[in-house]
Amino acid sequence: MNIVVGITGGIAAYKAVNVVRAFVLAGHSVQVVATDAALRFVGKPTLEAISRNPVHTDLYEGVAEVRHVAIGQAADLIVVAPATANFIAQLAGGFAADLLGNTILASAAPLVIAPAMHTEMWQNAATVANVATLRSRGIHIVGPAVGQLTGADSGAGRMSEPDEIVAAALAVVEPATVEPAAGDLVGRRIVVTAGGTREPLDPVRFIGNRSSGKQGVALALAAAARGAEVTLIGANLEVEVSDGTGAGDTSAQSIVVQRVGTSLELSDAVTAAALKADVVIMAAAVADYRPESVAEAKIKKETQGDILQLTLVKNPDILHDLSAARSASNRAGQTIIGFAAETETDPEALLALGRAKIARKGCDYLVLNSVGWTTGFATDGNAVKILDSAGDIVGEASGSKKTVADRILDLLAR
């Protein structure tokens, strides 16, 4: 694919190098269009070496080849990272003051932008209105994340991590069509857990998490499409178990769905289903703790006073227990895959957390990703690394959750 990466003048421009690199390593041809201000933060030679192409900045270069419109016309996708408040304002106003502005106006390609600025600028009424204008025009906005900013301060405005930007951007252009079943998992019995557990406090309240179940459902659908017999154990799914193709929804029809609510219900369901499974994939976000007791009637502030103290008790670690009990329960050949969603954004530290986790859990593979307020949960894209039990990276995938599901299943099929 022909991807234009626009870089505007913010300190997060140094991270745009990794956005360019990820697209190139994924086999795409990348043209960088950087503003003059962007080149104060990151060097042209760096961008040329990483993109393997000349970097374009000047509106008055390449006039004979009508470059100010040619780059945009040839693009299949445009990604601007970072997108400063000033750039967002120009885009909302339709200005073509520089090469990037011209490129965007001259292009029919999907546009994805990753804002980066200080919290006050992000929350400024002008920026809020401009972002709303961009959204109404169908421009895709990734982030910003909440986290450390350039100075000592932190808050909303940190640019999303490069992997997340790349995953979200590729998810925008991937065709929504369902690939034909490869059949490489025919006869395999696969149990997938998905969603997020809810631990009740009283009849109307619970402690929950933000997992939507999208990645687990994508795994179940992809496995069924490849011929596996799938049991999906869904905890409070926010998505339909459907591949979206309507009447011919064959992969969804071949999935047995069991609905659960709490961690203990999920534990019972997956422990029973695992007895007959070749593979167990624990994609669900399982609560580590539950209230020690559940009130029979609604808890009232009138009787509770100013402070409500909760005692939480630890839930069983299902993934650990399933892995530990494998040989004792005649499941010796079973493959168990865990997931780790971490808020750590430093790639090395994230990897270290993943390695410690797979050692602790005892499963065969761990799918590791970084999540935050705006990333990971409930989004359509994902970016993961897959670790084996030795802690080595045996796979990486980014793109839509369906693409990520298929890369995980490729590993299983192999």
Which is the catalytic residue, given 2, 18, 124, 209?
Answer: 209
DSSP 244-273: S-GGG-HHHHTEEEEEE-SHHHHHHHHHHH
| 37 burial level (CB within 10 Å; 0-12, 13-18, 19+) | middle
> Does residue 238 touch ligand C5P according to CB under 6 A?
no
Residue 330 is a catalytic residue: no
Greatest CA span in the chain, whole angstroms? 79
Choice from 32, 235, 318, 383 touching ligand C5P (CB under 6 A) = 318
Whichever of 88 and 260 has its CB closer to ligand C5P, that residue is 260
Whichever of 134 and 279 has its CB closer to ligand C5P, that residue is 279
CA distances from 51 to 29, 33, 77, 81 (A): 8, 11, 15, 14
67 to 96: interface string for ligand C5P, x by CB under 6 A: ------------------------------
Assess contact for 335 and 351: CB atoms under 8 A.
no
| Closest approach of ligand C5P to the CB of residue 366, in Å | 8
Between CA 156 and CA 144 the distance in angstroms is 6
Whichever of 3 and 371 has its CB closer to ligand C5P, that residue is 371
Assess contact for 71 and 78: CB atoms under 8 A.
no
> Does residue 377 touch ligand C5P according to CB under 6 A?
no
261 to 290: interface string for ligand C5P, x by CB under 6 A: --x------------------x-x-x-x--
Cα angle, residue 92 at apex, residues 88 and 96 outer, rounded to 5°: 85
326 to 345: interface string for ligand C5P, x by CB under 6 A: ------------xxx-----
3-state DSSP assignment of residue 163: helix
> Does residue 167 touch ligand C5P according to CB under 6 A?
no
> Does residue 408 touch ligand C5P according to CB under 6 A?
no
| Closest approach of ligand C5P to the CB of residue 9, in Å | 38
- Residues at the interface with ligand C5P (CB under 6 A): 263, 282, 284, 286, 288, 315, 317-319, 338-340
